[in-house]
Amino acid sequence: VAKIKGFAEWLPEQQILQQKIVTSIRDTFELYGFTPLQTRSIELISDLTDQGETDKEIYGVHRLTDESEVNFDWGLHYDLTVPFARYVSENRGKILFPYRRYQIQQAWRGERPQLGRFREFIQADADVVAEGELDLRYDAEILLMFQKLLFDLPIPKVQLQVNNRKLLQGFYEGQGIAEVIPVLRAIDKMPKIGEGGVEEILTGLNLSKQQIENCIGITKVSANGSTGLKQLSDFSIDNLQFSEGIEELGRVLDQVNELADQDSVVAGLHIARGFDYYTGTVAETIFPDYEQVGSICSGGRYDNLISAGSKPIPGVGFSIGVSRLLAYCFHLEILEASKKSTAEVFVAVNSEQDRNNSNKVAAALRSRGIATLVSDSSAAFGKQIKIAEKMGIKYVWFLNEGSSDEIKDLEARSQTECDVDTWMPKTDI
């Protein structure tokens, strides 16, 4: 029946999980003092193509009824960075800098649909931007926040791999490689095509044996701070950018790892990131236990992306692909969508005549913040319990005329007396 392909529309039980994940992400952003932003979905196509990203398969938007004056200069945004940059430029006089914003919205790309890749998808971005200068400590702050955020999600262990554009650029230039971009692109493919594949591309680019050896060698260096990065002196490369990149990456990793788990944020010297606008720190994620998933959270530092007025507005930010993450979690059965209701308590109904008493119990529980559903059916209790089970609701409340109410815990298979003004669900920690 679905006549439009490439769009994710989860089932009700999956929608509950999606909402849970979005709420968890939002809570972490706010915990770190990032403020919400919702920009319009529609941008001028000229603004969308400004970043030289013409391969984004933009969707245009036009008025159906306005054929006389057909307006073909609007498009749906393909990420949340371009709208954010425009919003900051437009409102810079009214924004307090440094401006920490998060943004959880859909984006659209006319790509060929495949596992984890949709034509409409939800992204969760957070960025800090400042006027004039943005200290390197913001790179660490935001990496730490994403580390915490990923750790708090109900997903397998995620590792953040960090690199620095200056380090890579200097590394190649220092070896006399003139055209850096195609080499960067080749190295970036390492996790997908392996060492042999990369070697083949680099040979095709006319790199010398020693250059190729170095280019592949650097991706094998592992480090989680400035101490580990000292190994890079083995390459004996004398280049200012290279040293600057090592220094920056070392500082960022040291700052992060003073507060984070030692192996959740590490150097990943193969990471280049596709976007041209990154100027320093870049990062991606892997699931060590599910390598096929690829990166679900990535981003970096952009010193020259936002320009308005005389002062530059440097920034650093990361983005989580929520739809992509969910698609893999459902496909690999990492997440099990079992709850079909947001309610914690299911109030049984003795009979249709008695329904209003159940409504009153529900009202009392809700007034204390306990999500409650009254049974739609007044059939035999056994049948009502089955419905609650099917919906994934843990507690069933029974009203007893003349004696105390009782609550059945469907997981613990226990039934106890309860009072509408004091009973509380056990919270999962």
Q: Which of residues 148-167 bind a second copy (CB under 8 A)?
A: 148
- Considering only 4, 178, 380, 429, the residue that binds a second copy (CB under 8 A) is 4
The tokens describing 161, both together, are 């791999």
Size of the site for a second copy (CB under 8 A): 84
Give 187-190's long-range contacts (Cβ < 8 A, gap of 24+): 187/215, 187/219, 187/270, 187/272, 188/270, 188/271, 188/272, 188/273, 188/274, 190/219, 190/270
Q: How far apart are CA 114 and CA 294, in angstroms?
A: 14
Task: Determine if 110 is a binding residue for a second copy (CB under 8 A).
Answer: yes
Strand partners, 372: 345
**CB nearer to a second copy: pick between 80 and 286:** 80
Part of the chain binding a second copy (CB under 8 A), chosen from 114-122, 269-277, 286-294, 329-337:
114-122
- Considering only 24, 42, 221, 244, the residue that binds a second copy (CB under 8 A) is 42
Q: State phi, psi for 266 to the nearest 5 degrees.
A: -135, 170
Give 175-180's long-range contacts (Cβ < 8 A, gap of 24+): 175/210, 175/211, 175/214, 175/237, 176/211, 177/207, 177/211, 179/205
Report, in Å, the least distance between residue 319 CB and a second copy.
18
Q: How far apart are CA 134 and CA 423, in angstroms?
A: 51
**CB nearer to a second copy: pick between 120 and 213:** 120
CB burial class (10 A; 0-12, 13-18, 19+) of residue 176? exposed
Task: Determine if 146 is a binding residue for a second copy (CB under 8 A).
Answer: no
Report, in Å, the least distance between residue 131 CB and a second copy.
12
Q: Do the beta carbons of residue 187 and residue 199 sit within 8 Å?
A: no
Task: Determine if 410 is a binding residue for a second copy (CB under 8 A).
Answer: no
Report, in Å, the least distance between residue 231 CB and a second copy.
26
Task: Determine if 205 is a binding residue for a second copy (CB under 8 A).
Answer: no
At position 163, the amino acid (one-letter code) is: N
Report, in Å, the least distance between residue 295 CB and a second copy.
23
Question: How far out from the chain centre does Cα 295 lie?
Answer: 10
Task: Determine if 91 is a binding residue for a second copy (CB under 8 A).
Answer: yes
Q: Do the beta carbons of residue 53 and residue 85 sit within 8 Å?
A: no
- Considering only 106, 226, 243, 378, the residue that binds a second copy (CB under 8 A) is 106
Part of the chain binding a second copy (CB under 8 A), chosen from 40-48, 197-205, 274-282, 296-304:
40-48
The tokens describing 286, both together, are 């892997």
Task: Determine if 16 is a binding residue for a second copy (CB under 8 A).
Answer: yes
Q: What is the DSSP string of 172-240?
A: HHTTT-S-HHHHHHHHHTHHHHHHHHHHHHHHHTT--HHHHHHHHHHTT---SSHHHHGGGGGG----H
Report, in Å, the least distance between residue 357 CB and a second copy.
11
- Considering only 52, 64, 351, 353, the residue that binds a second copy (CB under 8 A) is 64
- Considering only 38, 210, 400, 404, the residue that binds a second copy (CB under 8 A) is 38
- Considering only 24, 50, 53, 60, the residue that binds a second copy (CB under 8 A) is 60
Task: Determine if 395 is a binding residue for a second copy (CB under 8 A).
Answer: no
Calculate the alpha carbon distances from 102 to 29, 123, 207 in Å: 7, 10, 42
Q: Do the beta carbons of residue 242 and residue 235 sit within 8 Å?
A: no
Q: Do the beta carbons of residue 397 and residue 348 sit within 8 Å?
A: yes
**CB nearer to a second copy: pick between 36 and 197:** 36
**CB nearer to a second copy: pick between 117 and 148:** 148
Please, which of residues 235-294 interact with a second copy by CB under 8 A?
258-259
98: cis peptide before it, omega within 30°?
Answer: yes
Radius of gyration of the chain (CA): 27
Report, in Å, the least distance between residue 29 CB and a second copy.
8
Please, which of residues 308-347 interact with a second copy by CB under 8 A?
340-343
**CB nearer to a second copy: pick between 210 and 356:** 356
**CB nearer to a second copy: pick between 174 and 321:** 321
Task: Determine if 61 is a binding residue for a second copy (CB under 8 A).
Answer: yes
The contact pattern for a second copy, residues 120-139, with x = CB under 8 A and - = no contact, is x-x-------x------x--
Q: State phi, psi for 335 to the nearest 5 degrees.
A: -110, 135
Contacts of 379 (CB under 8 A, 6+ apart): none
**CB nearer to a second copy: pick between 124 and 269:** 124
**CB nearer to a second copy: pick between 96 and 380:** 96
Report, in Å, the least distance between residue 235 CB and a second copy.
31
Task: Determine if 425 is a binding residue for a second copy (CB under 8 A).
Answer: no
